[in-house]
Structure 1
Amino acid sequence: MHSKKRIGLWSLVMLTFVPTFGFNNITTNAVALGPAAIPSWLIVSLLYFLPLSIMIAELASANQDKEGGIYTWINSSLGPNWAFIGTWSYFVANLFYLQMVFARIPVMVSWALFGENRFTNPAILVYLSLILVVVLTYIATLGVKTFSKISDIGGKLTLATTVIFIVFAIVGVIIGKNPSATTFTAKTVIPKFNASYFSTFSWLLLAVAGAEVAGTYIKDVDNPRKTFPKGVIIATIFIALAYIIGSLAVCFVASPEVLEKAGLKDAGYIVYKILAHNWGLGSGKVAVQIYALIYTITSIAAYIVWMESPLRAMFSEVPEGTFPKFITKKREDGTMVNALWIQCAVLIVLIAVPLVGLKGINDFFVLLTNLSSLSLVIPYIVLGAAYLVFRMRGNHAPFEMLKSKSIVIIASGIVLILGIFAFFGAGWGDFVDSKSFSEAIIPILKDYGGPVLLIILGFIITRITSAITPTKINKN
């Protein structure tokens, strides 16, 4: 009876799949790279995503009695300071990511209802975003067993629509119904290894990150020792195949010129519209509306997970006194209701800033967003190092895929090198685009100095809390 209330294998797979996979990631990188996105996804999946997911699965199985996710995994081998650095960077990056994403949901709803984007007024988008923050926060407070059902439904629908897109795109070319819209040659498929490509490739690495989000729910998983590692690996395979084959299918349906004209925001809708039209379904408007509806459900589920999971990772397993007790308080099911509503208040402030109209304040929050953008890379670098140290000390997890030390060193080394490459490569484009070295100083300080500054700020907050907490205890 108890197991029925817990998260099963396929719910776990969807809980990992939904926040990680996005069809828009396929079209976004197809716009940026064209056919070169196909081998790029293959390289990223084999050299980075798969080994990183294996490391996550092993570390999670070794810490299955804890719910701190990446904090617990890093702490188990590198100690609390590195665990804090990795998790704080993860939390801060996701916080500023969230303040940008809520305006996307009304646009998705508009595509679902009207087959086009009618929400073009920025002020209206801000007001709708504020409402959505409160509503989704409330859903998150209901607990993982509730919102995992949304992930389960959204994930399966997304997987189904992605498979349908891929099948019809490829079959259309094979039977000669619709010739490939893209000409594949060595020149178009082989990436141009320039500054622009390396910058895009770095963000490609981060597009596959997300296998860690389910780690904070491991205590809610049915038979975690077997189910969690298996779920992570299955989700990883689904995501990798969807990105690689999906990129090929997108190139079959739309040429690089069409994708570039559609732009980053609308390319995902346009390719569905073209595919439906190619198969004789009128203008393709209905197909786009169905896709947009499913995309809306999936995105809502993904955003709820991104609201809840980083909070658990940051606050659930830190030593007592690191943060105020009010923030770290959690329900019996592990849900951190107070932290969720505090985060909601912060997000409301961040989202509402444009309405104030004070340019100085708005510029300040834009600066904070720029400073935090590369913070998301740091947790994966630290996590790769934590796994390497964990295994080199002779530790073994209940679930173990990398058997020999040499394989562990090679896999960890590649993940670490690519992670460091992603950190420096993601900001490389800003440096190259600068006309002079003096002009390049500002983006360099923002991109690379920002994460360091935010980590220092995090340690300052914990030191202040540690200094205040004993005084409060004595008063009581």
Structure 2
Amino acid sequence: METTKKLGLWTLVMLIFVPTFGFGNITTNAVALGPAAIPSWLAVSLLFFLPLSGMIAELASANNGKGGGIYTWIESTLGPKWAYIGTWSYFIANLFYLQMVFSRIPVMVSWAIFGENRFNDSNAYLLPYIALALALILTWVATKGVKTFSKLSDFGGKFTLAATIIFIVFAILGYFTGTPSATEFTASTVIPELNTSYFSTFSWLLFAVAGAEVAGTYISEVENPKKNFPKAVIIATALVAVSYIIGSVSVCLIASPEVLENAGLKDAGYVVYKILAENWGISGKLIVQLYAAILTLTSIAAYILWMESPIRAMFSEVPEGTFPSFLTKKAEDGTLKNALWTQCVIVLILIAVPLMGLNSIDSFFKLLTDLSSLSLVIPYIVLIAAYLVFRLKDNQAPFTMFKSKALALSVSVLALVLSIAGFFGAGLDYIVGAESTAEAVKSITMTYGGPVILIILGYVLTLLTKAAHKKKNNNDISKAS
């Protein structure tokens, strides 16, 4: 009898760590916060990521044997309506993430070919148009099947992790062998200023630690899941937190806050590699070209997989009749071609929105980061609420991280407050910096309108589909009788 090999503890740790940790998250927050990103990572890890990971571990443990994922976890306590809203909002976050990555690919290619970013404010308007073409091309590729890209994507994850480790090691080694720190570490530079600018990027920190939930779909494949799954979540949480903190220190050693700010969100990740290479007497241009070339190829493969995998997960978890049959129709290999093209149309619309007036490349990337971040906060708000109800009802999971009910409720309320703060904080800087009421309204609409409208439309869609499905079933029963 053939037995399926179970996932071990460290395999599961890597399944959580790799999609959660990203070097781009380090440089993005270093641009926005400078050295203040270091304690911010620590605070978010302890006050949000660790509690959230513990909640996920408990809910996954309580639902062991069922289909893993946020739909199952939310449905078990809040019911199918909120489970659908949580899952759909997770899908919406992916749409905004795809919008962002399609706009990043041209920048990657520019660094790979020229060793610099040729997209500046004078031609920033070209990025959305290139992104529109990429969305169409990569969707077409995804409809042809994504299995061929899995190995390249897997290599990309390992390459990015290896490149990050190399960066951290050589940045710290350079400092201890005589290269002075580019950043002055003092209380005034490290302690965050709790102003609107800080809170407007707070959701970026929450977005950066997202990912513990992806392991939930593997719980039935884990060896000794009651013990290993929660343990893997806790280990991965600690590993992610330490990596972000050490990575942020390394970036600050290499580049000053002024250099990072001048590089901007689009280029900081490449600039620091270039500076590091030059500090060691190596051609910075050559190193960054090689880094960007490999990153471009592997990222495209990863994006193709990421276009398809959330759709597959979305339609495999929700009950039959939740979506129109047009969207759930599968090809012979299981590919949801209609759903992929529908996703593409939505992303095309989202990409076109910035064409209405953004002419700065930095403001363009900031808006995309804000949209991706605040959208992903929404399913976490629903998930945390589900855990609150779970513990309020005195339910006990096989694995319980928070033994005391009072502690469980305290940490979940804190995580809920931080999530809501991150959601509303994402658009705070736009509103405060607006020169008129009309500009403030436009900023609010652009920042919050897309996610909220898409979530409402998704809920309306499922209501209409369920009504049609119920009517069809009633007709079939009538005909049978």
Q: Same fold (TM over 0.5)?
A: yes
Cα deviation, 1:117-156, whole Å, max 9, x if unaligned, reads 468764555434432233345454x4xxx86655543333
| TM-score (norm: length of structure 1) | 0.85
Structure 1 contact 99–347 (Cα < 8 Å) conserved: no
Say whether the 8 Å CA contact 1:19–1:305 is kept in structure 2: no
Q: In the alignment, what sits opposite 1:153? A: 155
Contact 2:150 2:302 in 1 (8 A): no
Which of 345, 350, 366 aligns to 1:349? It is: 345
Structure 2: distance between partners of 1:277 and 1:113:
19
Q: Number of aligned pairs?
A: 460
Matched, 1:202 2:203: yes
Task: Spell out the pairing of 1:180-195 with structure 2 (5 A cutoff).
Answer: 180-195=181-196
SS in 1 for 2:212: coil
One-letter amino acid of the structure 1 residue matched with residue 206 of structure 2: L
Secondary structure of 2:397 counterpart: coil
1:395-474 residue pairs with structure 2 within 5 A? Answer: 395-448=395-448, 450-473=450-473, 474=475
Cα RMSD after superposing both structures = 3.4
One-letter code of the match for 1:240?
A
Cα offset, 1:449, TM superposition? 5.5
**Offset at residue 345 of structure 1 (A):** 0.9
1:48 is aligned to 48
- Letter matched to residue 86 of structure 2: G
Per-residue deviation, residues 410-454 of structure 1 (Å, max 9, x unmatched):
221211110111111111112101224454234334545654443
Q: 1:149 to 1:412 in 2, by over 3 A?
A: farther
Shift of 1:73: 0.6
Map residues 333-348 of structure 1 onto 2, 5 A cutoff.
337-338=335-336, 341-348=337-344
Alignment of 1:160-175 (within 5 A): 160-175=162-177
Worse overlay, 146-155 or 161-170: 146-155
Fraction of identical pairs, as percent: 66
Q: Distance between the aligned counterparts of 2:374 and 2:236, measured in 1? A: 25
CA contact (8 A) 2:99 2:350 kept: no
Task: Rate the CA distance shift 1:344–1:308 in 2: closer, same or farther, 3 A.
Answer: closer
Partners of 1:170 and 1:356 in 2: CA distance: 42
Q: Is the 8 A contact 1:430 1:443 kept in 2?
A: yes
| Superposed displacement of residue 230, structure 1 | 3.6
Inter-partner Cα distance in structure 2 for 1:354 and 1:75: 29
1:212 maps to a residue whose letter is E
CA distance in 1, matches of 2:331, 2:408: 38
Unpaired runs of 5+ in structure 1? none
Cα distance between partner residues in 1 of 2:161 and 2:399: 27
Deviation larger for 56-65 or 369-378: 369-378
Q: Unpaired segments of 5 or more residues in structure 2?
A: 359-363
User: Matches of 1:31 and 1:179 in 2, distance apart?
Assistant: 20
Q: Determine helix, strand or coil for the equivalent of 1:3.
A: coil
Q: In 2, are the aligned partners of 1:71 and 1:313 still within 8 Å (CA)?
A: no
Partner of 1:92: 92
In structure 2, distance between residues paired with 1:343 and 1:433: 39
**Matched residue, 1:279:** 280
Distance 1:321 1:7, change over 3 A: same
TM-score in terms of structure 2 length: 0.84
Given that 1:130 and 1:351 are in contact with CA atoms closer than 8 Å, whether structure 2 keeps it comes out as no
Report the AA paired with residue 133 of structure 2: Y
Give, as a single letter, the amino acid of the residue that structure 2 aligns with 1:18.
Answer: V
